[in-house]
Amino acid sequence: AQSVSQHNHHVILSEAASLELGCNYSYGGTVNLFWYVQYPGQHLQLLLKYFSGDPLVKGIKGFEAEFIKSKFSFNLRKPSVQWSDTAEYFCAVKRDTGRRALTFGSGTRLQVQP
């Protein structure tokens, strides 16, 4: 069974610091990769997604992620965080075959201090 690992459970940063959140998955076949964000009191919403092509994908609010196939990784980055980035971030994987629902990581809670 595939799994998704997010190694950072709780990250605390000051405003303007750079962010990198790790995500690794275990499935060996073709996958599609997603990062979702859950702001306090709001719906889970899509930040960015990778299907094919350029492994560096850009999303909303200045976020980007890089797919490294050899490392089974899809890390999320932002050069300079803001207080409004305080949220919980989830990495998710969807296989190209078989079950087509998302498998989520356990999430990373990001707290940005002003």
Partner 1 sequence: DGGITQSPKYLFRKEGQNVTLSCEQNLNHDAMYWYRQDPGQGLRLIYYSQIVNDFQKGDIAEGYSVSREKKESFPLTVTSAQKNPTAFYLCASSADVTSTDTQYFGPGTRLTVL
Nearest to partner 1 of 40, 114 (CB atom): 40
Nearest to partner 1 of 71, 99 (CB atom): 99
Nearest to partner 1 of 5, 17 (CB atom): 5
What is the contact surface with partner 1 in residues (CB under 8 A)?
Answer: 4, 6, 9, 30-32, 34, 36, 43-46, 49, 51, 90, 92, 94-97, 99-107
- Nearest distance in Å: CB 108, partner 1: 10
* Residue 15 near residue 114 (C-beta atoms within 8 A): yes
Residues 6+ apart with CB under 8 A from 83: 15, 112, 113, 114
- Nearest distance in Å: CB 63, partner 1: 16
| Kind and range of the H or E run holding 14 | strand 10-14
Nearest-CA neighbor of 88 among 41, 53, 52, 49?
41
* Residue 114 near residue 17 (C-beta atoms within 8 A): no
- Nearest distance in Å: CB 100, partner 1: 4
Nearest to partner 1 of 53, 114 (CB atom): 53
Q: Phi then psi for 99, rounded to 5 degrees? A: -65, 130
- Nearest distance in Å: CB 29, partner 1: 10
